[in-house]
Each structure stands twice: as structure tokens, then as C-alpha cells.
Amino acid sequence: MNDYNFAYLDEQTKRMIRRAILKGLAVPGYQVPFASREMPMPYGWGTGGVQVSAATLTPEDTLKVIDQGADDTTNAVSIRKFFEKTAGVATTEETEKASVIQTRHRIPEAELTEDQILVYQVPIPEPLRFLEPRETETRKMHSLQEYGLMHVKLYEDISQHGAIATAYAYPVKVEGRYVMDPSPIPKFDNPKMEMAAIQLFGAGREQRIYAVPPYTQVVSLDFEDYPFEASKADHPCDLCGAEDSYLDEVILDDAGTRMFVCSDTDYCRTRRDAGHAGRLGAEAA
Amino acid sequence: MYVAVKGGERAIENAHAWLAEERRGDTSVAELSLDQIREQLSLAVNRVMAEGSLYDPELAALAIKQSRGDLIEAIFLIRAYRTTLPRFGYSQPVETGEMACDRRISATFKDAPGGQVLGPTFDYTHRLLDFKLAAEGEVPEAPVSEPRLEATPHISEFLQGEDIIEREPSSDGVPGDLTREPMSFPAGRAVRLQSLTRGDEGFILGMAYSTQRGYARNHAFVGELRIGTVPVEMDIPELGFAIEIGEVELTECETVNQFKGSKTVPPQFTRGYGLVFGQSERKSIAMALVDRALRWEELGEDNVGAAAQDEEFVLSHADNIQATGFLEHIKLPHYVDFQSELELVRKLRREAAEMAETLAAREAAE
Amino acid sequence: MKPLLQVKDVAKMYGARIGCTGVSFDLYPGEVMGIVGESGSGKSTLLNSLAGHLVPDRGEVIFDTRADGPVDTVTMSEPARRMLGRTDWAFVHQHARDGLRMSVSAGGNIGERLMAVGNRHYGAIRDHAADWLGRVEISESRIDDRPSAFSGGMQQRLQIARNLVTGPRLVFMDEPTGGLDVSVQALLLDLLRGLVREMGLSAIIVTHDLAVVRLLAGRLMVMKDGHVVETGLTDQVLDDPQHAYTQLLVSSVLQV
């Protein structure tokens, strides 16, 4: 792979992406078009996040890659290896040791700091897409702040289900201006988006980059009488006993016995190393 | 007992090893050489070059070998390689009027200067499996004639002389480059044509076919189809003039379409245009039909709501690398999202059950 | 009294063909103006030019806004015009499907304008929607049904409710009874007349149906080939038409 430039992309392309990132940071929540490149992994598998990471990484960085909260899911492994090979940067599974974290579908449980950048992989960046398929029209709706339709969707949810039936990719309003898709993170993670770290969002196939600068207001859309609720499975983690983390449900046997475990594998391991244990903690260790 | 996807790294390595083995197949059968692929599967090579938008038969052959003959996968390999190449500049526009034609036909005129040249076409073959080919592929030499030395004029020029076909305004404007600028709509014809020529052959074919079946019918005739090689020239700033840097094989199709005229323009013929790397006949005809359908607005035609008239729809879905990536990404784990849906559905069901109980209790009380 | 809408010398061309030209009139608060003419007379082009759906080639369309008084809506910024379009203006299309979101429930259809102007209380929005369903004589029990399950007359009434929920001051109507059966038309006209009176609405109604203007419009404008050929009080124009074309129009109705 020595024929390739540091972090795969050529410097010209990285500069182009950095300009888009800076513009995104200057206009929080606004989707900046960028000339996304073909990457050696398929569209929809994190090419946007990979391009943003490639333009963000420096040789001194330490990279962590998670998918579904875990470092060892196949796609996270594949992306981490890609940067080990093409950028030769240090990698880690420990959240606090990472300076750049690329993620798909989760925000780490540990609070992030001002020294960190969180890069999201985004499949569909347009929060209005499934209400209005046309890009020309959605761009106009954003520029004129015509977001009534977004609430119509939430209204329909409540009238049909008695509750807002959006469980992930729950739309937010950034700094009182742009309605933004937070990528398909569970709505449990939405409140964490007001954080100290820089959040960058890359959508490769759709050619969009957007960003949330540190300490930016991020409000999940709701109604006064049906306020937003960050929900998760009503269990503690069976391995580490955590009650505040998002849980995966794992089917254990043919009889359908289940266990609930932290989706954030690093968070779970850190807690167990510190001596915490859940219902099945001892056995599983 | 914690069984979730641990050991992803090992699994990936093993999968890759197995894939390599499957690609090679039975080792008692001779391995394919790139020369064989390039020479004997040349239409596959052409498609990979066209949709990979990189003219390099060697690399296309390698991609086909590596992808086990999955052409979209091969196109993907070429695109991912292409994007890393430094860009030295842009060539001069190629002059297809100067093409050394292997094939040149017109469906609109029985004969024209330059003649009808069938060339190496499947058109009039009987599609019967040739079992002799299974045993040995020796072929008798095809007869040859003297190549035509002078340039073969475009059929459209004859119509243009009569002023009966629209004139394409010439322009020195720099066309957009969809590999360097994000697509925005309306895209304009130059970017549209780029998108179509890189687009998936099957998709473009389906779109074109839909226009023929009445979804934005545009009454196309193949005014001309030509296949052959053209020189590629590039301005070298250090030299101060253009030099020939190589040649490429192209297929060009110009359709002649009926047009009733509009408030400002008298009735005349209009055109659709297709230009594709290599011998890619089906693709270039389909491209011309779709190009013509997308021009409804500039020609003042009605939008009948057909898919092939919808620039945003066609261009957003023509790229098979984008499409296959996004389609296949649903194989990736989604259990975080699924978990949140699972909990939501359980909660809604619980609430519905409680509601039913309350109602039943109330009814019983009454 | 200040006019609510002043139309000054509006013209719209399609290439060399005239859409409408030389149209001027004032509309006062609470006034309903009917525009009649056969198809191709330019009445729909005029309505769309006034409502901001088409950009006129010439002329001014001055609306007396709540905040800034009279403003030319042709030259005002697009955001301001779109804001007007979902607050003080309403547009009732001939075909209800053009004015409704067919995949959204009746309640959501009525609630959309409320939410677009910042209403964020689900219960209040729903109460409002239920109230408006009642006012257009649709049973409240249909609030969660989609318009696709409604009859043509109900769809049209739903479209009217969706438009009037924010209390607009000016309503544009394009053949509001056009696609409906005669018996349904009568009911709808009756309903519209009640709402117009009750809310003190100002409206511009385009129709080819003289019965509609007779019932709803105080004033009438007759168009032919893009030009206004006659204007006046509705009863006056219909009972004593001056222009030959109006005479023809009136007599052709009487023959039916």
C-alpha cells in the first residue's frame, strides 16, 4: 500500500474535504455538498466517514473505530485496518485514549473531551428525505426554514401509535436553525450530542458533510405535551451491571433465553475491570 | 457465554482466504491470463472501462479476474483505483468525425458517404449455441478490404445542411466534472451525459426501454452508430501545443428524433447523444434515448411524469457503484437500530394491551 | 377603508401568446370577487399570477400585510412570499389531491399549517383539527383517516379546512366545485358561503360556473382571450350584461 498517500486520499482531495468540514463547522447542521470520491469500500459502508477521517487524521493521531458501539464488529475491524495500513496511525479500543473516533450508529458512553473528534458514518443525511424525495425541494425547505412537515410526521406517529414512533435517526434542530439527521444512532444517544468534542458527519454516496461544533445546542424535535424521551431497554447490563448504558439484546439459546449487554464494548470492559459485575458477570468473564 | 460478534478480525481474514481460493477454482484447470480476458472477453473489458470510467484494458482485465467475473465488482475496483490517480489535466475534445470506423451504420439513410459498414456485430447472427466452440475456437480468417482513408462524415451533417435538424450550439465553456464537483440539480446536459456514460448499462437500458414503451416516448431513429478509434490529444503547457498521447476506442450514437416544434421553433428533428468507451453499442443507443428524454424542458415539451424525464431520478440512481454499495450495506449489523425498534414495538403493544384492558374493565363495570 | 389587495396592470405571456394582460382591480376586506370565462380565457393564469405560483411579466400585486402594510408580492423575497402563502393567504385547488397530502391523516393535513407557524402542542393542534373537521361537516371520528379514504366532496371540504385553519385573510379558489357531482356542489357552495360570511373572508374565485359566482361573489370580472371584458356587481353583470361575450355566456347558461 506504499503507493498510496497518507490516509489513502491525495492531498488535494483532503484539502477539498477540509474546506467542506470547516464550512460545516461554521454553519452547524447545514449539509455541505462535497465531491465525494470512490473509496475502496462500498458506498453505504462508511465511505463518507472514512473520507472525513482521512482528511482529519494526522500521523500523531490515535484512532478508534466502532460499529454498533463495538470495536470488534466486522465493519469496524475493516475500517480500522484500512487506516492502520494506509495511514499507519496508532489505534486503540479505549475511548479516552482516542483523538479521532469513527462511529457507525452509536455515541460512546464515556463523555468525550475537547481534544477529541467524533466522526459519524451517515447513510441518508437529509432528515426531510422520506417526507420529500426531491433534493431541490428539501434544500429550499432548509434555506427557508420550512420545517412544518417534520412535525407533521411526528404528529402522524402520535395519532397512530400514541407516541413518537421514531426510535433511531431521531431528528434534531441544531443551534435553533437547521434540522439535522443525527445518523441512525438510537434516540438514547441524542442528548449526548451537546458535547465538548467536535462532531463531524460524512455521507459519501450522498456527497454531504455536516458538523456540530463543541457545546452547540442540539434539540430533539417533539411536542410540548409529548416531550422527547431518550429510551433504552429497561435492564441493567448483565455483564457489568451498568444501568446508564445502551444495551444490546442477545439471544442465548434455542429456548430464547436472553441477556442484555452494553452495546459499548469498551465501556463494559472498563467497568468490569474496575470490579463491577452484573447478573451474569462472573460466568461471562 | 457472551456470543455476540467477537473475533470479527479472524473471521474476515478467513473469509478473504476462502474467497481467494474460490476465485482460483479447481487448480487442475489452467489459470486465466489477463491477455486471455482482454482478448477473448473484450466486451466485458469494454463495459468495465466504460462504467469504471478509466480507459485501460489491462487493468479492466485484472479487475475482471480479481472479481471472479462479477462486472459490477470489477467496475468498483477500477473506480476505487481511478480515484487515487493524480490528475494532470484534461485532453482536447476528441473529434469523432475523424474516427477510424470499424462499424458505422445508419437506420435513417439507405446509403451515405462512408457507406454502411456492419463490422464485427452480433446483429445478424443466429443465436444458436455453437457447440463446436466448446471443443476448439479456431476461426477462419475474415475477409478484409482496403480501409477508407478519408474521414467519414456524420449523418447529422447532411440533415444540418438542410436545416431540418436542430443545431448544437458550439461552446468553449468548461463542462462540469462530476468526479470533482458534487452533483447538483439541474445538472445541465454535459454533466448529465457524463453521468449516463458512467451509468449502469442495465439501468440506462431499462430507462431507454421505458421511453420506447410510452413513458415519454420520443420517436427515436438511430441516425448513426459508429464504433472505432480516435486519437486523444492533450495540450502540453511546456510545449505550447497539443500532442497525441494515445487513442481510444469509442462507440457513438446519435439519434434523430421527431419534434413537432414549439412557439418559437418550427418543426424539425432533434437529437439524443450517446458516447461510450469501447465497443458498447447497446449502452450508447440507450444513453442517446435517455439523453433525449431528459431534454424535454429545453425543448418546451410536456413533462408527462415519466421516470426517464426526471433528471434527479435518473442521475441519482444510474451509478451502479453507489447503488450496489447502498443496497448491500443492509447486510451490515443494524442491531442497535433494531433494538430500539424492538423496544418501541414492545412498548406500543404493551400500551395497546393496557388500553384494551381498561376498556374491557370499564365495559364490565357498566 | 384600505384595499386588502391592489392589482395593477398585471400581464403574463407564454412566449408570443397572451396569458392575461392589462388586469387591474382593488379588493377590499370582506369582499369576494368572481372571475369567469371559458377555458383558455386566462382566468387561471391570472389567479396563479396573483397567488405567486406564476411570476407575472408585468404589473404589481400589492397586499396589505399585517406587519408592513401594503407590499408588492411580485417583488417581495421568496421566503416572505412563502410565509404569506401559509399564513395570511390560502389557495384552494380544483383537484383536492393537489392541495392535500394524500398520505397524511385528515388531522395531520389540517394541523400542518399550524405546525408550520410554530404550534408545538399536540393536544391543541388535534383539538383545532377536530373543530375544523366539524366546521366542514366531516365527522370527528375520521380524524385519523387518510384523505384517500374520503369521497371527492369530503376531500374538497378537507382541503378547505386545511386552508382556513390559520385564519387567512385572503383565499384564492380555482374552480372549487369543478370536479364534483351537482348535488355535492350545492352542499359545498352552501358551506363555503357560510364560512365566508362567518369569517369575513376576502376571496378571489375562478370558475366557469355562473351559479357559483351568483351565490358567493359580490363582484364579477369577465375574461376573454386574456383580457377583462366586463366588471361590475355580480347581479348587475348577470342580469344586464353589456359586453357581447358576457351576453353569450349568460344566455348559454340559461339555455342549459
Chain C residues with CB inside 8 Å of A226's CB?
A: 122
Q: How confident is the model at residue B318 (pLDDT cuts 50, 70, 90)?
A: very high
B342 belongs to a structural domain: yes
Q: In this structure, are strands C170-174 and C202-207 parallel, antiparallel, or unpaired? A: parallel
Chain C adjacent subunits, 3+ CB pairs under 8 A:
A, B
Query: Nearest by CB to A159, which of C112, C113, C144?
Result: C144
Confidence at residue C178, expressed as pLDDT on a 0 to 100 scale: 82
Chain mean pLDDT for chain B? 90
Q: How confident is the model at residue A283 (pLDDT cuts 50, 70, 90)?
A: low
Confidence at residue A1, expressed as pLDDT on a 0 to 100 scale: 41
Same domain, B244 and B303: yes
Please indicate whether, in this complex, the C-beta atoms of B4 and A70 are within 8 angstroms of each other: yes
Confidence at residue B22, expressed as pLDDT on a 0 to 100 scale: 96
**Strand residues in chain A grouped as ranges (E):** 32-33, 62-67, 90-91, 100-104, 117-121, 172-174, 178-180, 198-203, 208-212, 218-220, 247-251, 258-262
Please indicate whether, in this complex, the C-beta atoms of C14 and B264 are within 8 angstroms of each other: no
Last residue of one domain, picked from the residues B325, B342, B358: B325
Confidence at residue C90, expressed as pLDDT on a 0 to 100 scale: 94
Same domain, B204 and B279: yes
Could you tell me if B84 lies within 8 Å of chain C, comparing CB atoms?
A: no
Same domain, B242 and B161: yes
Same domain, B357 and B253: no
Q: Evaluate if residue A285 carries a pLDDT over 50.
A: no
Same domain, B191 and B306: yes
Q: In this structure, are strands C202-207 and C219-224 parallel, antiparallel, or unpaired? A: unpaired
Could you tell me if A151 lies within 8 Å of chain C, comparing CB atoms?
A: yes
* pTM for the structure as a whole: 0.81
When pLDDT is averaged across residues A22-39 and rounded to a whole number, the result is 96
Please indicate whether, in this complex, the C-beta atoms of C107 and A144 are within 8 angstroms of each other: no
Same domain, B117 and B260: yes
Please indicate whether, in this complex, the C-beta atoms of A155 and C125 are within 8 angstroms of each other: yes
What is the chain B residue with the closest CA to C14? B263
Q: Evaluate if residue B2 carries a pLDDT over 60.
A: no
Q: What is the pLDDT of residues A216-266, one digit of tens each?
A: 999 999 999 999 999 888 899 999 999 999 999 888 888 888 899 999 999
Chain C residues with CB inside 8 Å of B264's CB?
A: 15-16
Chain mean pLDDT for chain A? 92
Name all domains of chain A by residue range, CATH numbers in brackets: 11-220 (3.40.50.11310), 247-284 (no CATH)
Could you tell me if C98 lies within 8 Å of chain B, comparing CB atoms?
A: no
Beta bridge partners of A91: A63
Mutate to test the interface with A, among C83, C103, C115, C162 (most CBs of A within 10 A): C115
Regions of chain C with pLDDT less than 70: 253-256
Coil, strand or helix: which one is A220? strand
Query: Nearest by CB to A155, which of C78, C113, C115?
Result: C115
Q: What is the pLDDT of residues C54-109, one digit of tens each?
A: 999 999 999 999 888 999 999 999 888 988 988 899 999 999 999 999 889 999 99
Chain B residues with CB inside 8 Å of A6's CB?
A: none
Mutate to test the interface with A, among C125, C143, C162 (most CBs of A within 10 A): C125
Q: Evaluate if residue A284 carries a pLDDT over 60.
A: no
Q: Within 13 Å, how many C-alpha atoms sit on residue C239's CB side?
A: 6
What is the chain A residue with the closest CA to C111? A152
What's CA A262's distance to the chain center, in Å? 17
B246 belongs to a structural domain: yes
Q: How far apart are CA B89 and CA B104, in angstroms?
A: 31
Query: Nearest by CB to A231, which of B4, B343, B348?
Result: B343
Q: Which of B102-116, B126-140, B197-211, C27-41 has the least mean pLDDT?
A: B126-140
Mutate to test the interface with A, among B331, B339, B347 (most CBs of A within 10 A): B339
Q: Evaluate if residue B74 carries a pLDDT over 90.
A: yes
Confidence at residue A236, expressed as pLDDT on a 0 to 100 scale: 95
* Residue B263 C-alpha, separation from nearest chain C C-alpha, in angstroms: 7
When pLDDT is averaged across residues B270-281 and rounded to a whole number, the result is 96
Please indicate whether, in this complex, the C-beta atoms of A155 and C113 are within 8 angstroms of each other: no
What is the chain B residue with the closest CA to C15? B263
Q: Evaluate if residue B112 carries a pLDDT over 90.
A: no
Q: Report the percent of chain B where pLDDT is more than 70.
A: 97
- Mark C5-39 as b/e (b = at least 16 C-beta within 10 Å): bbbeebbbeeeeebbbbebebebeebbbbbbbbee
Same domain, B225 and B342: no
Same domain, B228 and B201: yes
Name all domains of chain C by residue range, CATH numbers in brackets: 5-101+170-253 (3.40.50.300)
What is the chain A residue with the closest CA to C119? A223
Confidence at residue C42, expressed as pLDDT on a 0 to 100 scale: 92
Same domain, B197 and B290: yes
Confidence at residue B7, expressed as pLDDT on a 0 to 100 scale: 62
Same domain, B318 and B349: no
Mutate to test the interface with A, among B77, B320, B336 (most CBs of A within 10 A): B336
Q: Evaluate if residue B223 carries a pLDDT over 70.
A: yes
Q: Evaluate if residue A66 carries a pLDDT over 80.
A: yes
B142 belongs to a structural domain: no
Query: Nearest by CB to A160, which of C122, C126, C144?
Result: C144
B3 belongs to a structural domain: no
Give B 234-263 residues with CB within 8 A of chain C.
262-263
Please indicate whether, in this complex, the C-beta atoms of B4 and A248 are within 8 angstroms of each other: yes
Q: Which of A147-151, B87-91, B265-269 has the least mean pLDDT?
A: B265-269
Q: Evaluate if residue A275 carries a pLDDT over 90.
A: yes
Residue A21 backbone phi and psi in degrees, to 5: -65, -45
B130 belongs to a structural domain: no
Please indicate whether, in this complex, the C-beta atoms of A159 and C126 are within 8 angstroms of each other: yes
Cβ neighbors of B208 (< 8 A, separation 6 or more) are B285, B286, B287, B289, B290, B293, B308
How many domains would you assign to chain B? 3
What is the chain A residue with the closest CA to C82? A144
Same domain, B121 and B215: yes
Q: Evaluate if residue B268 carries a pLDDT over 60.
A: yes
Q: Evaluate if residue B322 carries a pLDDT over 90.
A: yes
C-alpha cell at C115: 405546525
Q: How confident is the model at residue B194 (pLDDT cuts 50, 70, 90)?
A: very high
Last residue of one domain, picked from the residues B26, B55, B82: B82
Q: Report the percent of chain A where pLDDT is more than 90.
A: 78
Among C204, C149, C212, residue whose Cα is nearest residue C177: C212
Please indicate whether, in this complex, the C-beta atoms of A159 and C101 are within 8 angstroms of each other: no
Could you tell me if A233 lies within 8 Å of chain C, comparing CB atoms?
A: no
* Residue A210 C-alpha, separation from nearest chain C C-alpha, in angstroms: 24
Same domain, B258 and B280: yes
List C-alpha distances in Å: B113 to A18, B105, B152, B154: 55, 11, 7, 9
Q: Which residues of A are catalytic?
A: 29, 237, 240, 262, 268
Q: How confident is the model at residue B149 (pLDDT cuts 50, 70, 90)?
A: confident
B135 belongs to a structural domain: no
Query: Nearest by CB to B337, which of A72, A105, A250?
Result: A105
Chain C residues with CB inside 8 Å of B262's CB?
A: 15
C-alpha cell at C77: 423575497
C-alpha cell at B187: 445538472
Could you tell me if A60 lies within 8 Å of chain C, comparing CB atoms?
A: no
Task: Supply the range of the domain harboring residue B345.
Answer: 334-366
C-alpha cell at B84: 487515487
Last residue of one domain, picked from the residues B82, B105, B139: B82
**Strand residues in chain B grouped as ranges (E):** 100-105, 220-236, 241-257, 270-277
Q: What is the pLDDT of residues A78-132, one digit of tens each?
A: 999 999 999 999 999 999 999 999 999 999 999 999 999 999 999 999 999 878 8
Top mean-pLDDT range of A187-201, B299-313, C16-30: A187-201
Coil, strand or helix: which one is B25? coil
